[in-house]
Structure 1
Amino acid sequence: MSRKICFVSLGATSFFFKNKQITYIGGAELKQVLIGRELTKQGYDISFIIYDIKGERKNDLDKIILIGSFPQTKNLSLVRKAMNLWKSLKKANSEIYIQSGGTPGTVALYCLVTGKRYVKWLASDRNVHLTGVDNKTSLMMKIAMYFDIKFAHLIIAQNTYQKKIIEKKFQKSCVLIKNPVPGQKTKINSKKDKKTVLWVGTIRSIKQPEVFLEVAKKLPEYSFVMIGGSSDTEPDLYDQIKKGTQKIPNLEFLGFIPYHEMKKYYAESCIVVNTSKIEGFPNIFLEAWINYTPVVSLNVDPDEIICKYNLGFHSKTFDKMIQDITTLLRDESLRKKLGKSSADYVKKEHNINNITKNFVSMFEKYFS
């Protein structure tokens, strides 16, 4: 009898359905879908709890069972959402429930009450500090986030920093498993010569999209492209950023782009810029690197791998970021050197086949 595993990933809807109303893709959802798909190949019964939505299902993920919870756009109270999610968890009837991102509290409580196994897959360094994606984190939200960690049977960390905090502060079992990159053959795209600088992310304050606008203003002789959908919690910021980009002639704002259409933007850009205040392990790093594109990051460098493996620059200050971007734009030889080391690093350290084996070993060790 195969093992039943359920991924609770409401925002993963766009990976399963063709629906133009979906304007959000997150790294937490992406990594769960990638691993879920690979685990079906290993004989696991995989289900996903997602937003309840109407649309044409994509054919490449038909071995995964989908369970709707509640509509993303419906204005429901937190209590009602929790009740609907509880019903979906019961319907999944799985042995193990895995959650990365999303509203905390409900899945952990369900597993505690029913005797199921709960695995918390950390989505950001914010998780270990009990802070949400918004500027303010309510007391109830902090309690729910603590509840997730406290009652998890196992926690998956994205980087060494997260693992150390979980083991020291919370004294919980924690394994380090790197984010996966789907297997794909890539090569350097000739259009990188256009010297385009790319920013990708959901438009929310913690990612500081306004900083990218200032970068574009500082370097008017170069082309900049911004890609990102709106956030449920900060929809006004999307409109504000979009309006701001219209005043910058060398910056093109494309809004939301579906995941399956993103590869060409990473491949044709010569630099990917990250301006976030804090992250865990940004998937945009992996998507950039697998396409031979170095990263210039303002604040985020998980386990200092950018510096350690020559994957770009960790600038730390705005002025240094401008300097680092300018250096790469002017030095084609350096761009190619960092681009190659980036692709080599990802293929070795984030190979999805190896990471799937890590998951299988984890299930056997902790849930046999």
Structure 2
Amino acid sequence: MKICIVGLDDYPQLAKLKNAKYVGGESVQHVLLARAWRELGHDVSMIVHDHGQGRVTEVDGIRAVAPYARDEGIPVLRFVHPRLTGMLSAMREIDADVYYQSPAGVATGITAWFCRRHGKRFILRIASDLACIPGKQLIRFWRDRKIYEYGLRRADLVVAQSEQQRTLLEQNYGVKSEVLDMAVEMPSGPQPDKDIDVLWVSNLRPVKRPEIVLELARRLPKVRFTLAGGALPGADDYYRTVLEAASSLPNLSCPGAVPYTEVGAMFSRARLFLNTSQIEGFPNTFLQAWVRGVPVVAFFDPDSLIKQRQLGHTATDLEDMASAIVRLLGDDVERQRIGERARAYAIAQFGATHIASRNLEMLAARDTPQVLRYGTSG
């Protein structure tokens, strides 16, 4: 089968560019799936931004087609050219059987329209609870939200990350979806010493609430915190504000953006992983922590997974979060017991090849005659 992943931000992750300023969780998922589908014998392509690599490149047996650069074109007019025309041209050039896209945005609607127009299959993955709530999506313009909603309602398969997302999609859009776990890359090599007490990893933006890490560092001066992450495009001022505030805290380290190829070692060095968001989808970072035996302390708990499977601590407020950090750091036996449980769960549930196969199996169940024609009914 020919599969195309529409992930414009994915090239730095695919090519392992060390100077990448921004790598999001969806790019991590896309590249894990691309490699898994390739290993399963499929012909895999990706539509990405042009970072100077050329229109068509191949990385590890995966074809990357770059129709335009992120800032190419004249503002306002570039919505049509090069963005709309470039994406449609790239999709026609690739001529895949299945197109896979996330996160919520204009690309959702464009991909859905192309697939309907040309008889292709479309898998849409929901990346955040906000994508399921009208008007709450992290999409700037009303026009773009409507284009996203057009695509959401026309996907052949919508893959949600949690039962919460499935319920929201049904209630708010009348869209049925399937819940499927995310993929995680299994760690390899010797494990380093645990020299980070509490690790926080994400892109620095308000919805992730990194300022809470600063407050925890003030309250717990004996705990060593590491706040790792770069700025989103256009959010440099916010990034600088956070780093300036962090500079006065001797127990808080801010290494900036860490390449994905190196961030795994950082997780392995941590005793606890901290998430301060109030709303998420299913964070890649939870899986990166659990697969290395690191408990998660967070406000957000997808489908109460942390609480029900005892994979860390779900905090009710800042005081509770601080108390949980102190308690878990002070009890090596309990922390290691939670970590072992988390590692076993992650290894059993989140292998990339399994998740890649399940996407196609779910699509086959939605439209058996079409998928049988491509020989992937399993």
Q: Structures share a fold, TM > 0.5? A: yes
| Residue aligning to 1:357 | 357
State the one-letter code of the partner of 2:267: Y
1:66 positional shift: 0.8
Alpha-carbon deviations, 1:293-313, whole Å to 9, x = none? 111102x11010000111111
> Counterparts of 1:49 and 1:137 in 2: how far apart (Å)?
22
Query: Matched residues in 2 for 1:166 and 1:19: separation?
Result: 35
- Distance (whole Å) between structure 2 residues aligned to residue 337 and residue 185 of structure 1: 21
Kindly state the Cα deviation for residue 289 of structure 1 after the two structures are TM-superposed. 0.6
CA distance in 2, matches of 1:289, 1:302: 14
Deviation digits for residues 67-104 of structure 1 (CA, Å, limit 9, x no counterpart): 01221354653333222222222222112211011632
The answer to whether the 8 Å contact 1:37/1:61 transfers is: no
1:119 and 2:123 aligned? yes
Contact kept? 1:297, 1:313, Cα under 8 Å:
yes
CA contact (8 A) 2:48 2:66 kept: yes
Question: Does 2:345 match 1:345?
Answer: yes
Which runs of 5 or more residues in structure 1 are unaligned? none
Indicate the residue corresponding to 1:279 in structure 2. Answer: 280
Q: Could you say what secondary structure the match of 1:262 adopts? A: helix
Match of 1:5 in 2: 3
Letter of the 2:170 counterpart: E
Rate the CA distance shift 1:176–1:11 in 2: closer, same or farther, 3 A.
same
Contact 2:6–2:102 (CA under 8 A) maintained in structure 1 = yes
Matched, 1:90 2:88: no
C-alpha displacement at 1:177, in angstroms?
A: 1.2
The answer (yes or no) to whether the contact 1:198–1:273 under 8 Å persists in 2 is yes
1:108 to 99, 112, 127: 112
2:165 to 158, 162, 185: 162
Moved more, 24-33 or 166-175: 166-175
SS of match in other structure, 1:191? coil
1:303: which partner in 2? Answer: 303
Paired with 1:180 and 1:13, the residues of 2 have a C-alpha distance of 18
Distance of aligned partners of 1:190 and 1:265 in 2 relative to their CA distance in 1, 3 Å threshold: closer
Report how many aligned residue pairs link the two structures.
360
Is the contact made by 2:137 and 2:145 (CA closer than 8 Å) also made in structure 1?
Answer: no
* Corresponding residue of 2:254: 253
Alpha carbons of 1:147 and 1:42: their partners in 2 closer, same or farther (altered >3 Å)?
same
Q: What is the deviation of 1:124? A: 0.8
Secondary structure of the residue that 1:270 maps to in structure 2? strand
Hey, what's the Cα distance between the residues in 1 that align with 2:217 and 2:73?
A: 37
Partner of 2:149: 146
The 5 A counterparts of 1:169-248 are 169-185=172-188, 189=191, 191-192=193-194, 194=195, 196-248=197-249
> For residue 36 of structure 2, what is the aligned residue in structure 1?
38
Partner of 2:226, secondary structure, is strand
SS in 1 for 2:45: strand
Query: Matches of 1:119 and 1:155 in 2, distance apart?
Result: 6
Calculate the aligned-residue CA RMSD, in Å: 2.3
Query: TM-score, normalised to structure 1's length?
Result: 0.91
- The Cα shift of 1:161 comes to 1.2
- 1:16, distance to aligned residue in structure 2 (A): 2.5
Structure 1 residues 245 and 103, CA, compared in 2 at 3 Å: closer, same or farther? same
**Structure 2 unmatched ranges of 5 or more:** 372-378
**Structure 2 vs 1, CA of residues 60 and 180 (structure 1 numbering), >3 Å: closer, same or farther?**
farther
Report the residue type matching 1:295 in the other structure: V
- Following the alignment from structure 1 to structure 2, what is the Cα–Cα distance between the partners of residues 347 and 362? 22
What is the CA–CA distance in structure 1 between the aligned matches of 2:58 and 2:327, rounded to whole Å? 41
| % identity of equivalent residues | 27
Any conservation in 2 of the 1:198–1:266 contact (CA below 8 Å)? yes
- Measured in 1, the distance between the counterparts of 2:73 and 2:136 equals 21
Distance 1:281 1:133 in 2: 16
Q: How far apart, CA to CA, are the structure 2 residues paired with 1:203 and 1:96?
A: 33
By how many angstroms is 1:348 displaced?
Answer: 1.6
Aligned residue in 1 for 2:23 = 25
